[in-house]
Structure 1
Amino acid sequence: MPPVWSLRQSLPSDASWIAELRAQVMRPDLERLGRWDPVRVKQRFLTGFHPAHTFVIEVEASAVGAIAVRPESDEQWIEHFYLAPEYQGQGLGSAVLRHVLMAQHDHRPFRLNVLQGSPARRLYERNGFVHEHEDSIDVFLVAETDQKVVPSGTCSL
């Protein structure tokens, strides 16, 4: 059973710690792929950070992760979904992802990319995402909105 969690709208002041969390979470996969650059991994986040599309995941009033949903005309991109390592493997990621998928009352499919070999891919596939295509670094996944799973969580986007 995942811990009790909530989402709150991100603020511009959240950018720095989310960039740090991104670097921490992505480092093992980026090192395995020979792509680790501690400056670049943070800068890529900071360049593309949009507080209006980003939500902070909180447990007991402490920020433990983030998730962004970037709307496009024909699709919605799930981006910057990171959980602090001590909260991974407890069902929290699945609960947040299911909530986000259900909260968007929209016909557009969800898309995301995950690094090749990342264990996060299993999380997405368990929650309705299927392989779309891949390259040497990324695997692109899609979930149609009519394949959504039953919601879990008590917050709204």
Structure 2
Amino acid sequence: MWKLEAVIAQDFEPMLALRIAAVQESLERIGRFDPERARLRFQEGFEPAFMQHIVTEQDGRVGFFTLKPRSEGQVLRLVHLYLQPGSQSQGAGSWVMDRIKQQARASGCDITLAALKLSRANDFYQRHGFRLVEQREFDNEYRWSPAMEQRA
């Protein structure tokens, strides 16, 4: 049903538009939506080597994610996981999360990420076994470890 495709530099603009569509409501909820800031932040973290498109046969590209190794080792950082609003709650995010966790298990890595406060993404990550480890002004920081599954 879903597959992954590589990201190239020319994908920046459509990926930025998708990201804005996916997060605008959450950013507005906390009073932080600014299209120019969104562009700059995305541009700073745009690294195609660590990014993948989420693709369906019928709809084409419906989302993307960025998964980067952290410098402290044994940690993968999920920087982005965005789906077009019309493609949310249809299983693609869970499908991607399963693949990311498989990769983390195989390499013995934890996964960290941040989610905007008041975003529905918080519920999604908690349903997938991520634990809240820190609350910041605008974000919640989460962590998942393969060891968590062994204890459960």
Do they fold alike, i.e. is TM over 0.5? yes
Gaps of 5+ in 1: 150-157
Equivalent residue letter for 1:81? L
CA RMSD, Structure 1 to Structure 2 (Å): 1.6
Any idea what SS the aligned residue of 2:95 has? helix
SS of the aligned residue for 1:24 comes to helix
Distance 1:14 1:111 in 2: 25
In structure 2, the CA distance between the partners of 1:85 and 1:116, relative to structure 1 (3 Å rule), is same
Q: 1:92 offset after TM fit, Å?
A: 1.4
- The one-letter amino acid of 2:53's match is V
SS in 2 for 1:95: helix
Are 1:9 and 1:54, in contact at CA under 8 Å, matched by a contact in 2?
Answer: yes
Consecutive aligned runs of 4 or more in structure 1 exceeding 6 Å deviation: none
Identity score, percent: 29
Q: Give the Cα separation in 2 of the matches to 1:148 and 1:15.
A: 36
Question: Aligned residue for 2:121?
Answer: 120
**Letter paired with 1:114:** A
CA distance in 2: counterparts of 1:46 and 1:138, whole angstroms: 19
Structure 2, unpaired ranges of 5+: none
Tell me which of 46, 52, 56 is aligned to 1:59: 56
Aligned pairs for 1:2-151 (under 5 A) are 4-60=1-57, 62-72=60-70, 73-74=72-73, 75-104=75-104, 105-147=106-148
SS state at 1:55 partner: strand
8 A contact 1:106–1:145 mirrored in 2:
no
Q: Number of matched residues?
A: 146
Q: Which has the higher helix share?
A: 2
Name the aligned partner's letter for residue 39 of structure 2: K
- 1:19 is displaced (CA, Å) by 0.9
Q: Secondary structure at the match of 2:64?
A: strand
Structure of higher RCO (CA pairs closer than 8 Å, 6+ residues apart): 1
Partner of 1:140: helix, strand, or coil?
strand
TM-score, normalising length: structure 2:
0.90
